[in-house]
Amino acid sequence: MKKLLWYALLTAAAAVMLYPLLWLIGASLKSNDEIFSSAWFVPKHPDFSVYIGAWRTVTPYTMGHYFFNTFLIILPKTVFAEVSSVLVAYGFARFDFPLKKLCFALLMGTMFMPAIVTVMPMYLMWSRLGLLDTYIPLTLPALFAAEGSFVFMLIQFMKGVPREFDEAAKIDGCGALRTLFFVILPCIKPVAVSIAVFTFLWTMNDFLTPLIMISSVERYPLSLALRLSADSTGDGYEQNRVLAMSVIGLIPSVAVFGLAQKKFVSGITAGGLSG
């Protein structure tokens, strides 16, 4: 009986959490009048044709174009982040070296460094290098283990791999790098998945960096394209179209999360990652 009460409470809370998203999906299929007259999310006369217009967007390019742009950022960023974070974490987890304590303190420091302080000088730096309006400012920092939390998470997991494994590999003739690839990496696959998933989600969500660095609509990632559409649609008409664009824009994140969920949830907490 008591259990039933808890379930009821949890279900009610879950409903409150999910309702805005359900409402978003429902409202995208409603007429503009109905959006503002009925609080219930199910549309009376669902009109799926709005999604054709939404895919075409109100800009000169389709949503497909913006998705492609976003993936052009995500792909190199993920590869860069994986390679650099794994190497750096390996260095911290398995080797002793001069100034190790200082280096680790710096790593922790970058995790707590507010992005707002560094973003403007970075803008000026990329501008001087003539690299504004390219994807280099968005992707290149990942090559240098820019995400301290990834390294931190990897270190925690690498320390969990028994050192005896390394020693056995050494006896079999593996050097440091081969030990990393053939012995340690297979043991920490879930973390590698987490890094890829978080890079994906964070890049999908990132707004400030592209807003500052990317200026031509042709190169806009999805987030900027959504903002452009929301702004240029304005009040009064075609609001279901903007809502439909938002629904489409959320699908990749939800899909990636759904697919990876089982594998990576264990990794989330280890590094104190926030979503």
Partner 1 sequence: MKKRTYHNPVGVGKYMGLLLVSPFLIGFLLFTLYPFVSSFVLGMTDYDLIHEPKFSGLSNYGDMLGSKDFLQAMGVTLRYCLILVPLKLAVSMAVALLLDMELKAMGVFRTVFYVPSILGANLAVVIMWQFLFTSSGLADQLTGLLGLGHMSWYSDSRHAMAMIVLLRLWEFGSAMVIFLSALRDIPKEYHDAAKVDGCGSVRRFFAITLPLMKDVVFLNLILQTIAALQEFNAPYMITGGGPMKSTTTVGMLIYNEMFLYHDAGYANAVSWSLFVVITAVVLLLFRLTGRHREESI
- Which residues 155-194 are close enough to bind partner 1 by CB under 8 A? 155, 166-167, 170, 176
Q: If you compute the radius of gyration of the chain from its CA atoms, what whole number of angstroms results? A: 23
- The Cα–Cα gap between 197 and 211 comes to 22
Give the interface segment with partner 1, choosing from 43-51, 65-73, 141-149, 181-189 (CB under 8 A).
Answer: 141-149
Which residue, 197, 188, 166, 27, is CA-closest to 94? 166
Q: How far, CA to CA in Å, does 262 sit from each of 14, 81, 193, 198, 259?
A: 20, 22, 11, 14, 8
Give the interface segment with partner 1, choosing from 43-51, 57-65, 68-76, 236-244 (CB under 8 A).
Answer: 236-244
Rank residues 188 and 243 by Cβ distance to partner 1 and give the closer one. 243
DSSP state of 36: T
Give the type of residue at 128. Answer: R
Q: Binding to partner 1 by residue 265, rule CB under 8 A?
A: yes
Interface residue with partner 1, options 108, 129, 168, 259 (CB under 8 A) = 108
What tokens were used for 55? 């895919």
Q: Binding to partner 1 by residue 239, rule CB under 8 A?
A: yes
Interface residue with partner 1, options 205, 218, 232, 234 (CB under 8 A) = 205
DSSP state of 184: I
Rank residues 52 and 83 by Cβ distance to partner 1 and give the closer one. 83
- The Cα–Cα gap between 133 and 62 comes to 20
CB of 136 to partner 1, least distance (A): 12
Q: Binding to partner 1 by residue 196, rule CB under 8 A?
A: no
- Window 62 to 91, contacts with partner 1 (CB under 8 A): 84, 87-88, 90-91
Q: Binding to partner 1 by residue 39, rule CB under 8 A?
A: yes
